[in-house]
Structure 1
Amino acid sequence: MPEHLRALVVIVVVASAVFFMARRPATDLIPLADFKRRRNLWFALTLVAFLAHSFWLYAAAATLILLVAQRREHNPLALFFMLLFLIPPATAAIPGFGVINYLFDINHQRLLTLCVLLPAALALRKQPGRVPLGRLLPDKLLLAGLALTSALALRETTVTDTLRQMLSLYIDVLLPYYVASRGVRELADFKDVLLAFVLVAFVLALLGVTEYVRHWLLYNAVLDALGLQWDLRGYLSRGGSLRASVTTGQAIVLGYVMAVAIGLFLFVQHFVRKPAHRYMGALLLAAGLFAPVSRGPWIGAVIIIVVFIALGRRAVPRLALLALAGVLSIPLLSVLPGGDKVLDLLPFIGKVEAENITYRERLLENSWIVIQRNPLFGSFDFRNTPEMQSMIQGEGIIDIVNTYVGLALRVGLVGLGLFMGFFVCILLGIRKGMRQVADKADPYHLLGRVLLATLVGILVTIFTVSSITVIPIVYWSIGGLSVAYIQMMRRRVVAVSAPATTASLQPR
């Protein structure tokens, strides 16, 4: 049996087990019909991907299936999250048919965006009461950043290629942000969307553990079967263990997705009735976070949990208890079988691949020298500078393992400022919305805590990795959800104040 078909058997068995276990707790948040429809769609598209033996055949079949499915879907973003990590984001070029070299690159994620989010965005624009794009401050900062990136692209490439990049930015950035920020309006919508992300993260987690244990990257062979070439498909190990990646392409990206899922799970688990289901979900996500053996996402996950606790009730004693548990776990690991191996993997403590930390320190130092030469708008040839050439690794590449450094080098401090301003503005808006709810146990306050903590964790994690594969899609989508939360809280204030104002105008 071909390797990709053997992998398919494993994937179907693992996913079936996850969906079976998740069915009952999922119905605590959403109707069973929604769960079944999205689960069946996940299986159907997975089977098509593994049996098509051609990416173009898969793309044609998936387009038809998705266009039919989105007409029945009341929450397009939930469907988008459910299918976002279906297969790796390896790209194929749409041919130009002799007119130009090629139109643009397409992959599963872009196909999903065009088939699910684009129709949703067009429908949202026609609905009354929707805030137009560009009206809100985060909109302005995002659009300014995209315009700057597109304009600066002309320095290094042709007009045709710049248009391709603009189209890519529209698909990868603007559509997820717009649908997330305008299409999610009520608390029930948030439950639906966050649960979809967590559900698919459960599947990724157990598949990641399978890869880690079996030392087998399950989705590598399907790329060959589909005729796709992709650089991000090699086997990576750390401390003698395989670093799982599943459909994300890189171990650190899988860790990033798991960290985000842990943050969103803090909201979802609040509505799950049985404690056993909550504990099983938490353990599965923790195992999924460990399987990629990526230290940056570990730090991000800890930051998410710390910020979440700090914003809740009895924050000081709970943080003290968490710190005590962390301190006591170190000597405990040193005496447990295999504990020394885990300690060696920990950031700033362990000795395994400690040179990676040194590389990141050198990257910061050398990049700052290059940035100072073109501080405002960066440069397109920064990789050719002596400082960056000295960063070439054994693979012959310069790995910009820091999203902020990459932005500052490519689009300067102006572009970095717009990027940071977008997220800072959102964080402040979430905090303001949370203050409108006095009870910290209220679901609206809980949702704000989760979104704020998750965004902070994302901003910390991308300090350790460049924005590759699905990383930017996730943070733009979570940013859009956070804007939706801010708008929802503003509507609640208006709804609460309107009856009081009307009452005060009544004659006495």
Structure 2
Amino acid sequence: MPEQFRALIVILFLACVVFVLARKPAADLIPDRDFKRRRNLWFLVTLVAFFSFGFWVYAAAATITLFLAGRREHNVMALFFMLVFAIPPAMVQIPGFGVINYLIEVNHIRILTLCVLLPAALALSKQGDTVRLGRTGPDKWLLGGVVLMTLLYLRETTLTDTLRQAVSLYIDVVLPYYVASRALKTVQDFKAALLAFVIAAFLLSIIAMAEFARHWLLYNGLIAALGIDWSMSSYLSRGGSLRASATTGQAIALAYVISVAIGFFLFVQGYVRSKLQRYMGALLLAAGLVVPLSRGPWIGTGVIIAVFIATGKGAVKRLSLLACAGLLALPLLAVVPGGEKVIDLLPYVGNVDKENITYRERLLDNSWIVIQRYPFFGSFDFRNTPEMQAMIQGEGIIDIVNSYISLALRFGLVGLGLFVGFFFSIMLGIHKAMRAFPDKDDEHRRLGRALLATLLGIMVIIFTVSSITVIPVVYYSAGGLGMAYMQLVRRLRNSEAAALASPALQPR
């Protein structure tokens, strides 16, 4: 039996386990018909991919399937989050048919974006109550960054390639942000969207656990069967164990997605009535976070949990308990069987792959020298500088394992400032919006806490990884969710103000 079919049997079995266990708690948040429809689409997309035997066959079938599904879906972000990790995002070039080298690169995420988010964006733009793109502060930061990147591409490439890059930025950056920031208008919309992301992360977690246990990357056979040459997905180990990656292509990208899902889980778990089901969900995500053996997302997850607690009720007491639990865990691990292996994996504590931390420290030092040489708008040939050539690893590559450094090197401090300003303006807006709800148990405030904590965690994690595979689409979508939350709170305030101003409510 071909490898992809053996893997498919395992994947379908594990997915059935997740969907069966998730159906009842999901009913506490969304109608069962929505859960079943999105679940069936996940199975359909997976089966189409495994039985296509070629990327273009899959692309054609997926385009029809996703376009029709998007027209029936009332919450397109929930559909997007459910399916965005269903298939590895390996890129394939659309040929130029002799006129140009190629038209554009496409992958599963771009097909999903064009079939689901683009029609939704066009529909939203025609609605009278939709805030036009470019009117808000975060919009301006984002569009400023996109325009700057597009213009800077001109200095090193052709006009045709610059247009290609501009289209790619629109698909990968603008569309996920715009639809996420405009389509979600009620708390119920947020429940459905965040739940979909969490369920998708449950699927990734259980698949990653199987990969870790069997030392088998389950989606590699699919990539080969589709005829895609994708160097991103490869067998990596740490401490003698396989680093799971599932559909994300890289272990750290998988752990990053699970970390974001934990932030969203902090919100949705509040609606699940069964404590057992909440604990099971938390344990599954925790296992999914561990098996990629990626330390940066572990730190990011700690930040997410700490910020969520710090913005809630009894923050000092709960943070103190969390700190004590962390301090007690280290000596406990030192005495339990297998505990020393766990300690060895911890950053700055263990001894496994300590050279990775040293490499990151050298990268910061050498990159700063190059950034000072091209401070404002960076340089596209920064890799040819002596400082960066000194960073070449055994594989013959320069791994820029830091999204901020990558931006500063390519687009200068101006580009980096626009990127950071975008997320900072959203986090500041969320924090201000949360003040409208003094009751720290209010669901609107709890939603803001989860979004704020998640965005802060993302900003920490991308300090340890470049923006590869699924990483950018997740953080731009999360930024859109933050913008949608700000607009939700603004509408609630306006409604309350209108109600108070109504003559029918005035004292006679």
Q: TM-score, normalised by structure 1?
A: 0.99
**Aligned-residue offset at 1:504:** 9.4
**Aligned-residue offset at 1:50:** 0.5
Q: 1:104 & 1:50 partners in 2: Cα distance?
A: 24
Residue 287 of structure 1 is matched in structure 2 by 287
**Aligned-residue offset at 1:137:** 0.6
Q: 2:343 & 2:71 partners in 1: Cα distance?
A: 50
Residue 135 of structure 2 is matched in structure 1 by 135
Q: 2:424 & 2:67 partners in 1: Cα distance?
A: 36
Residue 95 of structure 1 is matched in structure 2 by 95
Residues 77-101 of structure 1, C-alpha deviations (whole Å, 9 max, x = no match): 1100000001111111101112111
Q: 2:325 & 2:148 partners in 1: Cα distance?
A: 46
Q: In the alignment, is residue 323 of structure 1 matched against residue 340 of structure 2?
A: no
Q: Find the residue that maps to 1:441 and give its secondary structure.
A: coil
| Distance verdict in 2 for CA 1:83–1:507, change over 3 Å | closer
Residue 5 of structure 1 is matched in structure 2 by 5
**Aligned-residue offset at 1:501:** 2.2
Residue 190 of structure 1 is matched in structure 2 by 190
Q: 1:332 & 1:24 partners in 2: Cα distance?
A: 36
Mapping of residues 244-323 of structure 1, within 5 Å = 244-323=244-323
Q: 1:347 & 1:312 partners in 2: Cα distance?
A: 28
Q: 2:97 & 2:230 partners in 1: Cα distance?
A: 23
Q: 2:431 & 2:463 partners in 1: Cα distance?
A: 23
Residue 355 of structure 2 is matched in structure 1 by 355
The one-letter amino acid paired with 1:217 is L
Q: 2:95 & 2:353 partners in 1: Cα distance?
A: 42
Runs of 5+ in structure 2 lacking a partner? none
Q: Find the residue that maps to 2:173 and give its secondary structure.
A: helix
Poorly superposed stretches of 4+, deviation over 6 Å: none
Mapping of residues 58-457 of structure 1, within 5 Å = 58-457=58-457
**Aligned-residue offset at 1:497:** 1.2
Residue 37 of structure 1 is matched in structure 2 by 37
Contact 2:500–2:506 (8 Å) recurs in 1: no
Contact 2:187–2:444 (8 Å) recurs in 1: yes
The one-letter amino acid paired with 1:406 is S
**Aligned-residue offset at 1:502:** 2.7
Q: 1:4 & 1:502 partners in 2: Cα distance?
A: 64
Contact 2:499–2:505 (8 Å) recurs in 1: no
The one-letter amino acid paired with 1:13 is F
Q: 2:484 & 2:234 partners in 1: Cα distance?
A: 38
**Aligned-residue offset at 1:156:** 1.2
Q: Find the residue that maps to 1:115 and give its secondary structure.
A: helix
The one-letter amino acid paired with 2:472 is P
Q: In the alignment, is residue 472 of structure 1 matched against residue 472 of structure 2?
A: yes
Q: 1:179 & 1:507 partners in 2: Cα distance?
A: 42
The one-letter amino acid paired with 1:359 is Y
Q: 2:506 & 2:262 partners in 1: Cα distance?
A: 49
Q: Find the residue that maps to 2:502 and give its secondary structure.
A: helix
**Aligned-residue offset at 1:507:** 7.5
Q: 2:341 & 2:85 partners in 1: Cα distance?
A: 30
The one-letter amino acid paired with 1:21 is L
Q: 1:507 & 1:213 partners in 2: Cα distance?
A: 69
Residues 239-271 of structure 1, C-alpha deviations (whole Å, 9 max, x = no match): 000000000000000000000000000001000
Aligned length in residues: 508
Identical aligned pairs, as a percentage?
67
Q: Find the residue that maps to 1:324 and give its secondary structure.
A: helix
Q: 1:49 & 1:323 partners in 2: Cα distance?
A: 45
Q: 1:484 & 1:57 partners in 2: Cα distance?
A: 36
Q: Find the residue that maps to 1:167 and give its secondary structure.
A: helix
Q: Find the residue that maps to 1:477 and give its secondary structure.
A: helix
The one-letter amino acid paired with 2:156 is E
**Aligned-residue offset at 1:70:** 0.9
Q: 2:392 & 2:246 partners in 1: Cα distance?
A: 27
Q: 1:18 & 1:498 partners in 2: Cα distance?
A: 45
